[in-house]
């Protein structure tokens, strides 16, 4: 018995080592820098004064991430539902197609969206045939398109995974009791897939709100997000780790709070079902 539990502990050691080096210690550093000044002295909440300076950046980040998340949900939910209703073999193919872009590097994916949207890009040369030319690059629209394209699979997969586990008999029971197909969707299918929606929303919203590459590549100077601000603070020549860490810390708190709020909407036992895909 004892030996067994020792073996189990040994097996989980690599994870603990990983977690300490790449999660716990960095968070410790973030906290350390956020609450100290450039000489390493405890600075209380002094660093947090810069939040005011970045208030509009924070709100723009949250707004764009929110829009992208909603668009992902509006596209992802019907897509996941449609896939879950096909034959099992078809489902495998369709889900593979959804995941396929994720096999390609994130930066390349974002660059390819840029190529599509550029002034002389694919979209404009197609529209050119009709005498139309659109300024799409360096707009917030382009940023949202990039976010949706990059993170849509993270919305589809958890929702799909919950929907495939949903007992078809429950839908039959709903129609038997008088639901038309829309009522069956709103009264039974949607409430029972809420756990998948919550994990999908979390998995899309979190990377969207903290992204910097998408906004730089597609948003140009017009779209300066909190991720860009953190990157600038950390990597520019006049690097200021303390202010950068403070911004990171605030962003982290924001994400934790919004995740907690969303998890509040699902029961514990239901979120277990959604966890499968994560």
Partner 1 sequence: MKKIIVALENISKSFDDEQILSNISLYIRENEFITLLGPSGCGKTTTLRIIAGFETADTGKVYFEDKLLNDIPPYKRNINTVFQKYALFPHLNVYENVAFGLRLKKMKNEDIRPKVKQMLALVNLKGFEKRNINTLSGGQQQRVAIARALINDPKVLLLDEPLGALDLKLRKDMQNELKNIQLKTGITFIYVTHDQEEALSMSDTVVVMADGKIQQIGTPTDIYNEPKNAFVADFIGESNIVDGVMLEDFKAKFSGHVFDCLDKGFEKNEPVDIVVRPEDVDVVDVDSDKAMLSGVVTSVTFKGVHYEIIVDINGFKWMIQTTDYVGADQKIGLYIEPDAIHVMKKSEYSNMFGDYSSFSDELEKLSDATEVIEE
Point out which residues bind partner 1 (CB under 8 A).
167, 169-170, 172-180, 183, 187-188, 191-192, 269-270
CB of 259 to partner 1, least distance (A): 21
Nearest in space to 202 (alpha carbons), one of 142, 271, 146: 271
CB of 105 to partner 1, least distance (A): 40
- Gap between the Cα atoms of 96 and 94, Å rounded: 5
HSE, side-chain direction, 13 A CA sphere, residue 203: 23
Least distance (Å) between residue 187 CB and partner 1: 8
Nearer to partner 1, 62 or 195 (CB): 195
Question: Closest separation between CB of residue 191 and partner 1, Å?
Answer: 5
CB of 268 to partner 1, least distance (A): 12
Q: And the tokens for 77?
A: 């939910």
Nearer to partner 1, 105 or 180 (CB): 180
Residue placing its CB nearer to partner 1 in the complex, 155 or 188: 188
By C-alpha distance, which of 156, 134, 181 is closest to 76?
Answer: 156
For partner 1, which is the closer residue by CB, 28 or 275? 275
Cα 17-19-21 angle, rounded to 5 deg: 65
**Contact (CB, 8 A) for 161 and 187:** no
- Distance CA(275)–CA(199), nearest Å, equals 8
Residue placing its CB nearer to partner 1 in the complex, 45 or 272: 272
């Amino acid at each position: 018995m004892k030996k067994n539990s020792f073996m189990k502990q040994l097996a989980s050691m690599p994870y603990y080592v990983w977690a300490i080096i790449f999660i716990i210690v960095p968070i410790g550093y973030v906290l350390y820098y956020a609450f100290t000044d450039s000489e390493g002295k405890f600075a209380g909440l002094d660093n947090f004064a810069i939040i005011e300076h970045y208030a509009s950046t924070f709100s723009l980040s949250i707004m764009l991430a929110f829009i992208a998340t909603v668009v992902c949900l509006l596209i992802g939910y019907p897509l996941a539902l449609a896939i879950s209703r096909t034959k099992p073999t078809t489902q495998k193919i369709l889900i593979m197609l959804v995941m396929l872009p994720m096999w390609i590097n994130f930066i390349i994916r974002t660059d390819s969206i840029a190529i599509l949207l550029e002034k002389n890009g694919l979209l404009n040369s197609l529209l050119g045939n009709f005498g139309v030319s659109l300024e799409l690059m360096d707009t917030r629209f382009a940023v949202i398109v990039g976010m949706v394209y990059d993170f849509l699979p993270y919305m589809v997969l958890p929702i799909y995974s919950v929907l495939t586990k949903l007992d078809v008999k429950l839908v039959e029971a709903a129609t038997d009791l008088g639901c038309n197909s829309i009522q069956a969707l709103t009264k039974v299918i949607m409430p029972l897939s809420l756990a998948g929606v919550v994990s999908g929303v979390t998995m899309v919203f979190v990377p969207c709100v903290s992204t910097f590459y998408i906004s730089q590549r597609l948003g140009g100077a017009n779209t300066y997000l909190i991720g860009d601000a953190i990157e600038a603070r950390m990597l520019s020549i006049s690097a200021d780790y303390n202010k950068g860490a403070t911004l990171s810390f605030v962003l982290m708190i924001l994400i934790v709070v919004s995740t907690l709020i969303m998890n509040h909407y699902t029961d514990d036992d239901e979120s277990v079902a959604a966890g499968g895909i994560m």
